[in-house]
Amino acid sequence: MSDSGQDQQHPQYKDDRQLVNQLLMGEASDYHLAELARLMIRYDGFPGARDIQRDLQKALARWQLTEAELFAKTRAIHQRGDVYRGLGRGREDWS
C-alpha cells in the first residue's frame, strides 16, 4: 500500500514550471490567461507540485482576478478560437 500523503511529481512539471515563471512576469494577455486557466485545471487537486499551485494563485492575484472571472474570460477567449493559432501546437495538452 502506498503512502497517500506523499507528494507526486507531475510528468509535465518541467515545462509547466517554465510557463508559470513566464506567467508571473508577463501581462494578462489572452494567451497567458488561457494558459493560467489550463494549468489551474491541470493542477487542481494534484497531490504535488505545491510550488506551481502557489504560483498559479499568485498570478491570479497579480492580475486581480478570481478563479470564476478567469474561467469566464477564458471561455470567451476560446469561443473566438484563436488563442493558440500560429503557435505550432499540433496537439491538445490537457493531461
Run means of pLDDT, 10 residues per run, the chain, 95 residues: 71 96 96 96 95 98 97 94 68 53
Question: Considering its fold, how many domains does the chain have in total?
Answer: 1
Enter the C-alpha cell of residue 90. Answer: 499540433
Does residue 33 belong to any structural domain of this protein?
yes
Domain with 61 in it: 13-80
Q: What is the pTM (predicted TM-score) of this model?
A: 0.83
Is the residue at 85 inside a domain? Answer: no
Name the DSSP letter for residue 47: S
Q: How far apart are CA 79 and CA 81, in angstroms?
A: 5
